Chain A
Amino acid sequence: MKTILEGSMAIAETVNACKPGVVSAYPITPQTHIVEELAKLKADGDADFEYVLAESECAAASIVQGATAMGVRSYSATSSQGLLLMTEVLYNIAGMRLPLVLTDANRAVSAPINIWNDQQDVMVIRDAGWIMLFGETVQEVCDLHILAYKVSEKVLIPAMVNLDGFVLTHVVEPVDIPGAKEVKAYLPDYNFKERLDVNNPLTLGAFATPEYYFEIRQELHEDLVNSKKIISQEMRNFKKVFKRSLNLVEYYGDKNADTVIVAMGSVLGTIKEAVDELRKQGKKVGVLKIVSFRPFPEEEIIKALSKAKNIAVIDKSISLGTEGILATELRRILKKNIVSFVLGLGGRDITKEMIKKVFVSVKKEKLIFLGR
Chain B
Amino acid sequence: MKNYKAPLSHLLNPGHSACAGCGMIIAYRLVLDAAGKDVIVTNATGCSEVTTTQYPMTSFKIPWIHGLFENPSAIASGIVAALKYRKDEKTKVIAIGGDGATFDIGLGLISGMWERNDDVLYVCFDNEAYQNTGYQSSGATPLDANTSTTPPGKKSLGSKQGKKDMVAIALAHHIPYVATTTTGYPLDIVAKVKKALSIKGSKYLQIYTPCVPGWGIEPKDTMNVSQLAVQSGYYPIIAFENGQLTAKMKIKKIPVEDFLKNQKRFKHLFKGERFKEEGRGEIPRIQALADENISKYQLT
Residues of A within 8 A of B (CB): 21-22, 24, 48-50, 52-56, 58-60, 62-72, 74, 88-89, 92, 96, 196-198, 200-209, 212
A52 and B53 contact, Cβ closer than 8 Å, known pairs A62-B67, A69-B65, A202-B63: no
Contact indicator B74/A207 (Cβ below 8 Å): no
B271 beta carbon closer than 8 Å to chain A: no
For residue B37, CB closer than 8 A to chain A, the reply is yes
Show 16 A/B contacts (Cβ-Cβ < 8 Å), sorted by A: A24-B78, A62-B78, A65-B67, A65-B78, A66-B65, A66-B76, A66-B81, A67-B79, A70-B86, A71-B82, A89-B68, A201-B63, A205-B53, A206-B56, A206-B66, A208-B55
User: Which residues of chain B in 57-102 are interfacial with respect to chain A, using CB atoms and an 8 Å cutoff?
Assistant: 57-58, 60-68, 70-71, 74-79, 81-86, 91
Asked if A49 and B85 sit within 8 Å, CB to CB, the answer is yes
Give Cα distance in the complex from A202 to B82, angstroms. 17
B242 adjacent to chain A (CB < 8 Å): no
A197 to B63, CA, bound (A): 6
A336→B66 CA distance, assembly (Å): 46
Give A325 to B69 CA distance when docked, in angstroms.
31
Q: Which of B107-115, B182-190, B195-203 contacts A (4 or more CB under 8 A)?
A: B107-115
A sample of 17 more A-B contacts (CB under 8 A), given A52-B78, A62-B67, A67-B85, is A22-B82, A24-B81, A50-B84, A52-B81, A55-B108, A55-B109, A55-B115, A59-B71, A59-B109, A60-B74, A63-B74, A64-B78, A70-B40, A72-B85, A198-B37, A201-B63, A201-B64
Q: How far is the CA of A58 from the CA of B38 in the complex (A)?
A: 28
Nearest 8 CB-CB pairings of A with B: A66-B78, A55-B112, A62-B74, A70-B82, A205-B66, A66-B75, A203-B58, A62-B71
Which residue of the partner chain, among A59, A67, A72, A212, contacts B55 with CB atoms under 8 Å?
A212
Check A201 against B62 for contact (C-beta < 8 Å).
yes
Asked whether any CB of chain A lies closer than 8 Å to the CB of B116, the reply is yes
Q: Could you tell me the distance in whole angstroms from the C-beta of B43 to the nearest C-beta in chain A?
A: 8
In whole angstroms, how far apart are the Cα atoms of A145 and B84 in the complex? 25
**Given A88-B68, A92-B67, A207-B55, are A70 and B78 also a contact pair (CB < 8 Å)?**
yes
Name the CB-closest residue of A to B85: A21
CA distance A63 to B81 in the complex (A): 8
B residues less than 8 Å from A201 (CB atoms): 37, 60-64
CB distance B84 to A58 under 8 Å?
no
Residues of the B chain whose Cβ atoms lie less than 8 Å from the Cβ of A63: 74-75, 77-78, 81
B78 in contact with A67 (CB, 8 Å): yes
B49 nearest in chain A by CB position? A207
> Which residues of chain B come closer than 8 Å to A55, judged between CB atoms?
108-109, 111-112, 115
CB pair A21–B54 under 8 Å, yes or no, is no
Q: Which residues of A contact B37 (CB under 8 A)?
A: 198, 201
Question: How far is A208 from B49 in the complex, measured between Cα atoms in Å?
Answer: 12
B50 within 8 A of A: yes
B81 and A22 within 8 A (CB): yes
CB of B63 within 8 A of CB of A196, answer: yes
Given A58-B74, A66-B76, A198-B62, A209:B40 Cβ within 8 A: no
List chain A residues, Cβ under 8 A from B39. Answer: 198
Which residues of B have CB within 8 Å of A206? 53-58, 66
Whole-angstrom distance between the alpha carbons of A64 and B67 in the complex?
A: 12
Q: How large is the interface on B (under 10, 10 to 19, 20 to 34, 35 or more residues)?
A: 35 or more
B226 at the interface (CB under 8 A from A): no
- B42 contacts which of A66, A198, A212 (Cβ < 8 Å)? A66
Q: Are the CB atoms of B53 and A62 closer together than 8 Å?
A: no
Q: Is the CB of A69 within 8 A of B85?
A: no
User: How many Å from the CB of A123 to the closest CB on chain B?
Assistant: 22
- The CA of A206 and the CA of B64, in the complex, are separated in Å by 9
| Complex alpha-carbon distance, A54 and B55, angstroms | 31
Q: Hey, which chain A residues are within 8 Å of B116, CB to CB?
A: 52-53
- Chain B residue numbers with a CB within 8 Å of A68 are 78
Chain B residues contacting A64 (CB-CB under 8 Å) are 78
Minimum C-beta distance from B50 to chain A (A): 6
A132 to B57, alpha carbons, bound, how many Å?
33
CB-CB nearest in chain A for B51: A207
The answer to whether A72 and B71 have CB atoms under 8 Å apart is no
Collect the chain B residues with CB atoms within 8 Å of residue A207's CB: 49-50, 53-55, 66
**Do A198 and B53 have beta carbons less than 8 Å apart?**
no
CB <8 Å contact, A92 and B68: yes
Residues of A within 8 A of B66 (CB): 204-207
A206 to B115, CA, bound (A): 29
Give, as a whole number of angstroms, the nearest-CB distance from A204 to chain B: 4
- Which residues does chain A contribute within 8 Å of B58, judged by CB atoms? 203, 206
Chain A residues within an 8 Å CB radius of B75: 62-63, 65-66, 69
Most chain B beta-carbon neighbours within 10 Å: one of A64, A65, A70, A198:
A70
Check A22–B78 contact: CB distance below 8 A: yes
How far is it, in angstroms, between the C-alpha of A55 and the C-alpha of B116 when the chains are bound?
10
Q: Which residues of B contact A66 (CB under 8 A)?
A: 42, 65, 67, 74-79, 81-82
Contact of B91 among A53, A62, A198 (CB under 8 A): A198
Residues of chain A within 8 A of B74, CB atoms compared: 54, 58-60, 62-63, 65-66
Bound Cα distance from A208 to B54, whole angstroms: 6
Which chain B residues lie closer than 8 Å to A196 at the CB level?
Answer: 40, 63-65, 79
Q: Is the CB of B115 within 8 A of A203?
A: no
CB-based contact A50/B85 at 8 Å: yes
* B95 shortest CB reach to chain A, Å: 10
A202 to B66, CA, bound (A): 11
Distance A68 CA – B75 CA, assembled complex (angstroms): 10
